[in-house]
Amino acid sequence: MPVNVIAPSAAHGRPVVPSRGRLRPLGLDDVQITDGFWADLQRLNASTMIEHAQAWMERLGWIGNFDAAVEGRLPQDRRGREFSDSEIYKLLEAMAWEVGRTGDEQMDARLRALAARVARAQEPDGYLNTMFGRPGQGERYSDLHWGHELYCFGHLIQAGVARARTHGDDEIVQVAVRAANHVCDVFGPEGRQGVDGHPEIEVALAELYRVTGDRRYLEQAKLFVDRRGHGVLGDIELGAQYFQDDVPVREATVFDGHAVRAVYLAAGAADVAIEADDDELLAAVATQTVTTLARRTYLTGGMGAHHEGESFGRDFELPSDRAYSETCAGVGSIMVNYRLLLATGDVAHADAVERTMYNVLATSPAEDGRSFFYTNTLHQRVPGKVPDEDEVSPRAASSLRAPWFAVSCCPNNITRTVASLAAYFATTDDDGVQLHQYAQSTIRAEIPAGVVHLAVRTTYPVSGRIEVEVLAAPPGEWTLSLRVPAWAAGATVTDGGARGVEPGYAAVRRTFAPGDVVVLELPMAPRWTWADPRVDAVRGQVAVERGPEVMCLESVDLGADVAGVRVHTDAAPVERDGQVLVPATTLDLADGTWPFGTEPGAGAVTGSAERGLVPLVPYHRWANRGPATMRVWLPTVD
C-alpha cells in the first residue's frame, strides 16, 4: 500500500532537511549553479560520469544481479562483491538528484527502468539483497560484520529519499519504504540487537523519517547509533575500532578506525541528535569532528592515513606518500560537516566543506569524467602506469585514475554528490540569507520577511571577487551573510564603501532594493603553508595554497623527478599569467652505496641548478597529463 510522502516542492530537492538547527538548507529548486568550476563538473557528471558508471555496472553484471534474482539464477550468476547492490542504489540516487536538478527526461526514463529491475527483486517482506537469503547463499544477516546488508539498505533508502524530494512518490520510493519497514521489523527494540559492520543505515533512516514523518524510522536509527561501541561485533585483527564498536558514540572524542565508516556513522548520529533533541549526542559528534579536523585530517581535507584498514592514524600521523585519503571519506566528511553547519552555524564546518570539495571531491574524476581516483596520495614517488581503459582495477591505491574498480564505491559517491552539490551553497535563518560556497549562480530564498532573489557573479576560484546582486527583496531590513574563509585574511566587503572583514561571516544588514550589489573580495595570492610541528612526516617541508586550492609540484612541468626540488621560503610564491610559481633549487641526485651521512644531503647530491622559479598546478588537476611524480609538501632549502 503506498505510503504518504511529502511532495517534492516541500523539500526543494534538499539532501538534508533537519527539523531544527541554526540554519535552514536550500535545495536544487532554490540554487542553480550556472557557470564556472562547479557548473563544469556538474555538466561532466550529467553528460559522462553517471552514464560511465551505469555502463560499467551493466557490463560487469552488477545490475544484472537483480535480474538473476528474479529469474532464479543466483548464486551461480551473481557478480561483484558482497556490497555491489549498494553501487546501483548510489547510481539511482545520482540519477534522482540529476533529474531533479535539470528535468532530464532521458535520464528520468533510465532511472525508472533501472528502478523497475531493482523493484522486481524485492521479497514480499521488504528484504532486498542479491548476496544472501536464497538456496546456496548465506542466510539473511548471517554476516553482519562483512555482509553489508544494512549498508546496502541504507543506500537504497537514500535513493528513495532523493527521488521523493525531487519527484514525489514512485516505485523506488515504495521499494525504499518497504525495505525500511523490514529493517525496523527485524532490528527493532524486541528484534535482533546487532548492527552492521559498515554504518550507513543510520543516516538513511533518519532522512526517511524526515520525508515521511514516521517516527519509527528515527527510533530505529537511534537504536543503531546507541548499540554501537559496546562490542556488539566483537574484536577482530584490525581492532573493534575498525567498526567504531569499541567506544560508544557519546563517549568518543575523535574519529577512529575505518575512515568511511566513521564519518558515515557521525553523519547518522548528527541526524539522530537533531531530530531527537539530543544535544549531548550532537555535542559529542561536533567534538569528534572538530578534533579530527585539528589532528587527523590532511591539508587537502582528506581523511584516513592508513592503507591497512582504510583507517585514521593516530593524532598528527599524516604521511604524504602513504596517505589513503579515500574519496568516499571525503564525501562522508562533507556530509558530517554540512550537517553540523546547519545545526550550529559554525563557519569552521563550511570551511571544511570547501576544502574537501576542491581538493578531494574534484580530484577524484579525470577531466574527461571517465576515470577516477579511489585514494588520494599527497606524494607520488614513481610515475604511475596507465591503466587499461577496458580493465577493472583490482587495487584502490592506483597511481593514476582508473576507469573502474573491483570496489567502485568512490565513483558512485562522486556522481551522487556532484548532482546534489548546489544544495550545499546557501542557507537561510530568521534574519536572512547566508552564502557558504561560491559559484556563478542564482538563488531564491524564503525568509520570514519575504522572498529574496540573488544573482552571484564570480569566476571563483580563478578570481576572489564575488558580486552578489539583489534581484528581488522584501521590504524592511534583513541580513546577507558571506563566508570569509579562514585563509582569507585581508578580505574586504563593499556595500557602498569598502571595509575590511575578518574570517567568519561578513554580515550586511539593511533594507535592500533590486539592483543593489554587495561585493566580497577574497585575497587569492598564493601562500606558503606550514604544518603543525607534530606532523613528523612533513617536518622541514612546506606546501602552497591559492584560495581554496591546494597546489602541487608535478614532474610533467619539470622534465625531471620532483624529488630533487628544494624551495626557498624567503620569498613568497608568485602568480604570473594564471600560473603559480615558487622559488626553488633543483638538486642533482645520484644513488650511492649508503643513503645516510654525517652532513645534510651528503652522499646523494652531485650538484644543483641555480635558483629559479618552478610551476605548480592545483592538486585536483594532477595526473591528467600522463604518468608523473608529484608532491604537495615541498622540502625547503636547509
Residue 536 CB burial class (10 angstroms; 0-12, 13-18, ≥19): exposed
Does residue 152 have a pLDDT over 60? yes
CA dist 90 and 214 (Å) reads 23
Using 50, 70 and 90 to split pLDDT, how confident is the model at 384?
A: confident
Give the DSSP letter of residue 132.
Answer: B
Percent residues over pLDDT 90 in the chain:
91
Does residue 344 have a pLDDT over 80? yes
Between helix 279-295 and helix 327-344 the angle, nearest 10°, is 130
Does residue 46 have a pLDDT over 50? yes
Encode pLDDT of 224-240 as tens digits: 999 999 999 999 999 99
CA dist 482 and 493 (Å) reads 9
Kindly report the average pLDDT of the chain as a whole number: 95
Give me the residue spans of the domains in the chain: 8-424, 426-521, 527-635
- What integer pLDDT is reported at residue 395 of this predicted model? 76
Give the DSSP letter of residue 151.
Answer: H
Cβ atoms of 419 and 166 closer than 8 Å: no
Encode pLDDT of 71-100 as tens digits: 999 999 999 999 999 999 999 999 999 999
* Distance (Å) of CA 314 to CA 255, 257, 331, 551: 10, 10, 21, 25
Encode pLDDT of 580-600 as tens digits: 999 999 988 888 888 888 877
Encode pLDDT of 385-419 as tens digits: 888 889 998 876 667 899 999 999 999 999 999 99
Beta bridge partners of 529: 543
**Shortest CA distance to 267 belongs to which of 291, 285, 251?**
285
**CATH number 2.60.40 given to 426-521:** yes
CATH topology of domain 8-424: Glycosyltransferase (1.50.10)
Encode pLDDT of 24-35 as tens digits: 999 999 999 999
Encode pLDDT of 535-572 as tens digits: 999 999 999 999 999 999 999 999 889 999 999 999 99
List, in order, residues 6 or more apart from 277 with CB less than 8 Å away.
20
